[in-house]
Amino acid sequence: MADPLTLFTSIGLSEQKAKETLKNDALCSALKDAIAQAQRVLGVAGVDKATGTLLYTMASRLRDPKRLGFLTDHIAQRKICTELQLAAALEFVKSHPQDPINQQEFESLCGVGVVITPEQIEDKSASVFTGEARGGLMWADGKMIKNEVDMQVLHLLGPKTEADLEKKPKVTFHTLKIEGRTLMDELRGVALNFHKPGENYKTEGYVVTPKTMDLLKQHLEFTGGQIRTRFPPEPNGILHIGHAKAINFNFGYAKANDGICYLRYDDTNPEKEEEKYFTAIKDMVEWLGYKPYEITHASDNFQRLYDLAVDLIRRGHAYVCHQRGEELKGHNPPPSPWRERPAEESLVLFDRMRRGLFAEGEATLRMKIVMEDGKMDPVAYRIKYTAHHRTGDAWCIYPTYDYTHCLCDSIENITHSLCTKEFQARRSSYFWLCNALDVYCPVQWEYGRLNLTYTVVSKRKIIKLVEEGTVRDWDDPRLFTLTALRRRGFPSEAINNFCAKVGVTVAQATMEPHMLESCVRDVLNDHAPRAMAVLEPLKVTITNLPEGIRNDVRVPDFPANEFMGSHVVPFTRTIFIEQSDFREVMEKGYKRLTPDQPVGLRHAGYVISVQKVIKDAQGRVVELEVHCCSSHEAAEKPKAFIHWVSEPQKCEIRLYERLFLHKNPEDPSEVPGGFLSDINPNSLQVIDSALVDISVSKAKVFDKFQFERVGYFALDPDSTADKLVFNRTVTLKEDPGKM
């Protein structure tokens, strides 16, 4: 046989394609075998380009090498002679992994022997266009159909005009406006690749064993073909913005397909788990609008997981090891000298571990597998003399994530195990463990994580921020935990919209906070009623109003749509305005109140003009005396209308900025001193004597408002009957300085 490069170019591959093929050992070997067999079938030394193209396509797409000869024979004998037939043939062998293949069914489904004449195409195309024409001519050449349909269209509609030929702007996913869309609306491209329930074996990398098809059959009988997902957080911290994407993906995918999603707590490490985290996780899932089909725990299966571990030892796939934790750290740790320990000995030792006869760290159970990242023999069980929040002291050995996760997925008959990209290195061990135990094996799908700049989400680092007193707790509104975002006033709908806007891709997504804030404004603009608040009050006395007068002013909750309700605020002789809305000296471009420039009062229908400026001993302006008149009586329309309050309620306002000064506070090249050295000293400003109109006096915790001309605010849990506390959620407009 000729050298591979010459051989591959002889069947029609370009020199570049042939060289690329040589770099792929598996493809190179498969293609050489296919060409050699085709030459034997044909009885000639060469293979024509059409046959060569089909052989290359078959070799590059075939996942089961044992079917290579079967398909090569059909290609060489011209039974499979089009790309369409080959695609059907590849799908058939993928769907029928077990021998023997039903030859008659195979040839029928692949169009073997079907001949479509040009006359048939012309007759069919005369009455229907391409989409329907294909339905009646399944095995016809696509180019022939297109050419004939083009002729029919030209005959009916005439040649294309200049307008037809004008290049239209391309609409991409990123240019679509997201309004009330869910993550699933943006997921279609990714989800199209997902396997159907029961067709796990069609997924690339999925391992088919002699028992696979029977296990899948049992799985389908149990689930009825229903989509099943799970959201499996570890209850050792509060969920953050990245988890919001995972929640939307898992619950959203199930919901969009009439399936179910479990909330499963991965509670296998009793040292770090606390009840408050269990409660907070459930609250956040429900806050985002999702209701778990069932709440489960890895600990529900402790006995079953233990029994499966015993079975794994008996099968020769696990052993008890005495290497210490420090020996297993770092790159290329030494292989365990106990790897070939007899199963009977490991069974005895594992039982002793179970009964508490070893000290912590003295023994572990390890699985005999090398993971994709090179990690050898991951630990399945370790000893921890710590009471578990649900099982108490019943166990002193606890399973690891690498052992537990896929088996709990199997027990719950999960169809799609959706996880972030860093778990890709565990996919092979996921499949291996299920198959090693002969249990139903779900499919793991990975997607890119969602990260934000100017923040940290690591549980360890947030705990450090709390311990250092930089933030108050996990729900400090400067953090991007979900409890913190809720406290700050971010609507759950806005977070879901943000996840939809980001979408689901394999690549990691790192977004700017202002993109999330934009989604927040979109929601609050439509749902946060208006109120008036003054952060830095300046007293104003209206001298031409008598003492004791009190008028009611009706203020619309949503000025753009007055049918959505209104509230009443008092208007008296004494009002308060923002200090920044008055200047004693007129400056160019300043349109608010000055001694020479009147201003209108929002919603009141009055215009005020300064008559006297009152100052304290230090020369600071402390009060204005003004004259007011109806806006209809004013000599000229005022250049601006400002907000105000009268008989207001005193409140505390908390203004938040970014917690960190740099985009990537965890990056040593950007912040050499570490994230704790990057704290923004102005991340929180507290105004303890702000004034707000009485319309908000009966607000409940987390109620949201737009304080006119100031920003969006939410009522904080620290509020009392005597003093309300408001957190600024976002400003009214994006600050260009934050870009």
Q: Locate 507 and state its tokens.
A: 């690549």
Higher per-residue confidence, 46 vs 158: 46
Task: Report the greatest alpha carbon distance in the chain.
Answer: 114
Question: What does the alpha-carbon distance between residue 236 and residue 389 come to, in Å, rounded to a whole number?
Answer: 12
pLDDT tens for each residue of 273-291: 888 899 999 999 999 999 9
Mean pLDDT is highest, among 158-167, 623-632, 706-715, for: 706-715
Select which of 19, 202, 459, 539 is catalytic: 459
Higher per-residue confidence, 141 vs 586: 586
Name the helix (H) or strand (E) containing 105: helix 103-109
Question: What does the alpha-carbon distance between residue 513 and residue 454 come to, in Å, rounded to a whole number?
Answer: 8
- What pTM, to 2 d.p., does this model score? 0.75
> Where do we find the tokens 């907000």?
643
- Answer for the pair 265, 277: CB distance below 8 angstroms, yes or no: no
Higher per-residue confidence, 12 vs 738: 12
User: Residue 131: is its pLDDT beyond 80?
Assistant: no
468 contacts: CB under 8 Å, gap ≥ 6: 676
Pairing of strands 379-383, 397-399: antiparallel
Please report, rounded to a whole number, the percentage of residues in the chain having pLDDT higher than 90. 65
Helical residues (DSSP H) of 533-690, grouped into ranges: none
Select which of 375, 449, 539, 583 is catalytic: 449
Give CA 497 to chain center in angstroms: 11
Name the helix (H) or strand (E) containing 520: helix 513-527
User: Would you list the DSSP string of 439-508?
Assistant: ----EEEEE--EEESS----HHHHHHHHHTTSSSSTT-TTS-BHHHHHHHT--HHHHHHHHHHH---SS-
Select which of 91, 199, 234, 734 is catalytic: 234
459 flagged as catalytic: yes
What are the structural domains of the chain? 4-110 (1.10.8.1290), 536-647 (2.40.240.10)
pLDDT, residue 279, reads: 93
Q: Which residues of 529-539 are buried (b: 16+ CB within 10 A; e: fewer)?
A: bbbbbbbebbe
pLDDT tens for each residue of 673-683: 999 999 999 99
pLDDT, residue 329, reads: 76
13 contacts: CB under 8 Å, gap ≥ 6: 21, 52, 56
- The CA dihedral of 80, 81, 85, 87, to the nearest 10 degrees, is 100
234 flagged as catalytic: yes
pLDDT, residue 427, reads: 87
User: Residue 84: is its pLDDT beyond 90?
Assistant: no
User: Residue 119: is its pLDDT beyond 80?
Assistant: no
Give CA 82 to chain center in angstroms: 40
Please report, rounded to a whole number, the percentage of residues in the chain having pLDDT higher than 70. 88
Question: What does the alpha-carbon distance between residue 415 and residue 139 come to, in Å, rounded to a whole number?
Answer: 33
Question: What does the alpha-carbon distance between residue 682 and residue 655 come to, in Å, rounded to a whole number?
Answer: 10
pLDDT tens for each residue of 169-188: 333 323 223 344 555 555 54
pLDDT tens for each residue of 611-645: 999 999 999 999 999 999 988 877 788 989 999 99
Sign of the CA dihedral 572, 577, 581, 586?
Answer: positive
At 260, is the secondary structure helix, strand, or coil? Answer: strand
Question: What does the alpha-carbon distance between residue 542 and residue 647 come to, in Å, rounded to a whole number?
Answer: 14
Looking at the DSSP assignment, which residues form a beta bridge with residue 540? Answer: 575, 624
Looking at the DSSP assignment, which residues form a beta bridge with residue 367? Answer: 318
Of the ranges 71-80, 101-110, 328-337, 403-412, which one carries the lowest mean pLDDT score?
Answer: 328-337
Higher per-residue confidence, 162 vs 693: 693
**Mean per-residue pLDDT over the chain, rounded:** 88
At 568, is the secondary structure helix, strand, or coil? Answer: strand
Name the helix (H) or strand (E) containing 726: strand 724-730
Question: What does the alpha-carbon distance between residue 188 and residue 186 come to, in Å, rounded to a whole number?
Answer: 6
Question: What does the alpha-carbon distance between residue 199 and residue 216 come to, in Å, rounded to a whole number?
Answer: 8
pLDDT, residue 190, reads: 52
- Answer for the pair 634, 516: CB distance below 8 angstroms, yes or no: no
When pLDDT is cut at 50, 70 and 90, the band that residue 253 belongs to is: very high
- Answer for the pair 55, 36: CB distance below 8 angstroms, yes or no: no
Strands in 711-715's sheet, in edge-to-edge order, are: 530-531, 704-707, 711-715, 724-730, 649-656, 684-692, 533-534
Long-range contacts of 542-545 (CB under 8 A, 24+ apart): 542/573, 542/574, 542/575, 542/608, 542/626, 542/627, 542/628, 543/611, 543/625, 543/626, 543/627, 544/627, 544/628, 545/572, 545/573, 545/628
> Phi first, then psi: what are they for 725, rounded to 5°?
-125, 125
530 flagged as catalytic: no
User: Would you list the DSSP string of 681-725?
Assistant: TTSEEEEEEEEE-GGGTTPPTT-EEEETTTEEEEE-TT--SS-EE
Overall average pLDDT of the 132-144 stretch? 58
pLDDT, residue 120, reads: 65
When pLDDT is cut at 50, 70 and 90, the band that residue 535 belongs to is: very high
- Answer for the pair 439, 410: CB distance below 8 angstroms, yes or no: yes
